[in-house]
C-alpha cells in the first residue's frame, strides 16, 4: 500500500506538476457572485437600476461582479432600499440621476464625475433645455460611465 501512495505522489506532483499552493475555489468566484445577483431581492434592485439607465441587465450584472465582492453583492438590495427611503432629501435632478446611489451606496462612479454630470444637467436647464431632455442626456452620460 505504501508503494501505491509513493507512485501516486510522483505521478501527481512530479509528472503532472500539480501545484498545491493554488486554490481552485479562489481563482474564479464569478459563478458564485452571479448566483447571488440572481437571488430575488438582489435581482429586483439590479433590474430597477438597469432599467432606469437603459442598460442590459446581464451587462450590469457583469459590471457588478467585476467591481464588488460577494458580501457587497449580497447587500445590494438593502443598500437600494436605504437609498430609496433617503430620497426625500435630494433635489429632482439628483433623484433622477441616482447620484447618491451610484456614488455612495453602489460606488460605481466617482463623486467628482457625478457632480460634473449634475452641473451639466443644471446648466442645460438654465440655458433653455427642458428638464426631461437634460435629465435624459445626463442618464446617457452616466450609462456611458458605468459601461466603461
- The confidence score (pLDDT) of residue 128 equals 92
pLDDT number for residue 2:
67
To which residue does cell 457588478 refer?
64
Q: Does residue 85 contact residue 91 with C-beta atoms inside 8 Å?
A: no
The model scores a pTM over 0.85: no
Distance from C-alpha of 92 to C-alpha of 11, rounded to nearest angstrom: 67
Residue pair 97/135 in contact (Cβ under 8 Å)? The answer is yes
Report yes or no: 125 and 131 within 8 Å, Cβ to Cβ.
Answer: yes
Any idea where the domains of the chain sit in the sequence? 1-85, 91-148
Q: What is the mean pLDDT of each run of 10 residues along the chain (148 residues)?
A: 67 56 64 94 96 96 94 95 86 92 94 96 94 96 94
- Number of Cβ within 10 Å of residue 117's Cβ equals 21
Amino acid at each position: 500500500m505504501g508503494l501505491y501512495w509513493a507512485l501516486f505522489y510522483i505521478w501527481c506532483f512530479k509528472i503532472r506538476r500539480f501545484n498545491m499552493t493554488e486554490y481552485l475555489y479562489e481563482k474564479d468566484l464569478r459563478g458564485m457572485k452571479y448566483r447571488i445577483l440572481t437571488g430575488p431581492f438582489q435581482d429586483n434592485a439590479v433590474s430597477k437600476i438597469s432599467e432606469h439607465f437603459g442598460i442590459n441587465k446581464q451587462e450590469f450584472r457583469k459590471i457588478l461582479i467585476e467591481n464588488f465582492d460577494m458580501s457587497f453583492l449580497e447587500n445590494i438590495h438593502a443598500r437600494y432600499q436605504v437609498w430609496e427611503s433617503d430620497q426625500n432629501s435630494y433635489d429632482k435632478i439628483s433623484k433622477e440621476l441616482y447620484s447618491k446611489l451610484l456614488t455612495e451606496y453602489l460606488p460605481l462612479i466617482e463623486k467628482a464625475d457625478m457632480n460634473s454630470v449634475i452641473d451639466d444637467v443644471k446648466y442645460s436647464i438654465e440655458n433653455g433645455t427642458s428638464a426631461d431632455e437634460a435629465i435624459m442626456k445626463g442618464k446617457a452620460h452616466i450609462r456611458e460611465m458605468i459601461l466603461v
